[in-house]
Chain A
Amino acid sequence: MDTIKPESSFAEQVVGLAGEGVNLCFQCGKCSSGCPVSFAMDHPPHHLIRMVQYGMKEAVLSSSTIWVCASCQTCTTRCPNGVDLAHVMDCLRQLALEAGVTPAEPEVAQFHRCFLDSVAAYGRVHELSMIGRYKMKSGGLLSEARRGFREWREGNLGLVATLKRSDAFAEMRQGLDMVRRGKLRVLPKKIRGLDSLKEAFNDARRPR
């Protein structure tokens, strides 16, 4: 069994950002029974809250739970003690990023970063360039290219046939299809009030 290394200041830090609610949890487990994504978590939500109370900073911030949470708000809605769990999860993700902890779900964290970068650049999300950037940054493109190359070397299909069979090609075709149907805008468009939005981003990124 692992030894718990409590950091009491961590529990206080979470309360400071997320509010007093965290301390009200009495482990009824209603949040975890209703959670649609608990199957993909390393700790169900009510365990994670207990871990926060115990000050288990490292285990909490490196958990998959905080990144797999879909923010569906079911736990928040049903908690008999009014603990806003979805908001606690939000705050824990923020604390993990601020502490420089490597996210247990790097793709999810990378997606959020690319999404917000797009908002900061244009004021609205430009889906095509955002997803392209995400694919580059998350290493998806590179690993797909490597796999494709291996399949081409090991298989007996030609280069074009291998390419056509790949996931990347299927995704690209889906993307092009959406551009053709006018569902994805090719070029980004900036809002007029981008300066005021930049101030909001500067404010949000200032250390507190």
Chain B
Amino acid sequence: MAREFDLSTRAVCQALDVDLVELPDWSCCGATSAHATNQRLAIALPARNLALAEQAGHDLVVPCAACFNRLKAAEHKLLAGEWNGPFDKFAGKIAVHDLLHFLGSAEILDRLSERRRRALSGLKVACYYGCLITRPPKVTGNEPENPQAMEAVVAALGAEPVRWSFKTECCGGGFAVSRPDIVRRLDTRLYRMAAEAGADCLAVACPLCHANLDMQQKAAAEESGGLYLPVFYFTELMGLALGLSAGPWLADHCVDPARLLAARGLA
């Protein structure tokens, strides 16, 4: 899953002189399945990754919203001295960032403006944050109701972020397999609201948001009135503006963005 997020993130970071090192032997954070059913696993699983990162001496930059959220929850618990269990040695010597706010920092945006090869003019983007990058703010440290980090990135690319009120509404998250009906209902609402705000595509920063919004769109055609809204990872849009070869990433999408990009002269 999410191979295009992985590849575009690596390519964009390289183009912006950000050195990424994959955390050696990382393990799954347990995602919703752990915190939804076992409060010990909910902390122990991400705590292992915190310990590995501290051992390696690197800050963590996390592309997945759920991993980021669980790492922050574990960090919060461990630093408050409320964890008595496996992997309890974390001392807080490294920081945990979500990829969006990391790449949306003033320093990186400056570099982006300098190295931009073309403006994504005419592209109207509904920036979609979903849940776990921002909520709950006491854990994530991010603005929960009207975040602006992705709008700042999209504007720096020369595209136009639209104003809309559903940017932090849930996409259905991990229910894609067990309750696809819920995902379809929530996502249909998102397509409609984005289109109503004048967007011609969605930008996301989470693999699960992408999977749901991209994979459900054709199935939801009847309810949504057949809306066509390609779903980009924000890193893919960065890659397009930086002049990187985006073909292999975009070929992975269920909703083919080729028609939209051709119409805006960006193919």
Contact = CB atoms under 8 A, between A and B. Distances in A.
Interface in A30-76: 36-37, 39-40, 68, 70-74, 76
A204 B44 contact: yes
A91 interface: yes
Q: For the complex, would chain A's binding face be called helix, strand, loop or mixed by DSSP majority?
A: helix
A77 B1 contact: no
B32 interface: yes
A192 B42 CA distance: 21
Contact of B36 (A73, A112, A205): A112
Given A17-B39, A77-B144, A134 B27 contact: no
Contacts of A127: 1
Given A77-B137, A193-B48, A112 B32 contact: yes
A127 to B, nearest CB: 6
Interface stretch (B108-116, B176-184, B223-231, B258-266): B176-184
Contacts, number: 145
Given A77-B136, A119-B30, A119-B45, A183 B40 contact: no
B33 A111 contact: yes
B173 A70 contact: yes
B27 A193 contact: yes
Interface in B14-71: 25-28, 30-42, 44-45, 48
Contacts of B173: 70-72
A12 interface: no
Q: For the complex, would chain B's binding face be called helix, strand, loop or mixed by DSSP majority?
A: loop
B129 to A, nearest CB: 11
Contacts of A141: none
B36 A196 contact: no
B44 A107 contact: no
B182 A40 contact: yes
A73 B186 CA distance: 16
B256 interface: no
Interface string B153-192: 0000000000000001110111101110010011000000
A174 to B, nearest CB: 8
Contacts of B86: 196, 199-200, 203
Contacts of B117: none
List the 7 shortest-distance A-B pairs measured between CB atoms, nearest first: A73-B135, A204-B40, A115-B33, A72-B170, A200-B44, A112-B33, A72-B131
Interface of B: 1-3, 25-28, 30-42, 44-45, 48, 85-87, 131-132, 135-137, 144, 168-170, 172-175, 177-179, 182, 185-186, 251-252
18 contacts: A17-B39, A36-B170, A39-B185, A71-B131, A71-B173, A72-B173, A77-B137, A86-B136, A90-B37, A111-B174, A112-B36, A178-B1, A182-B3, A183-B1, A196-B86, A200-B40, A200-B48, A203-B85
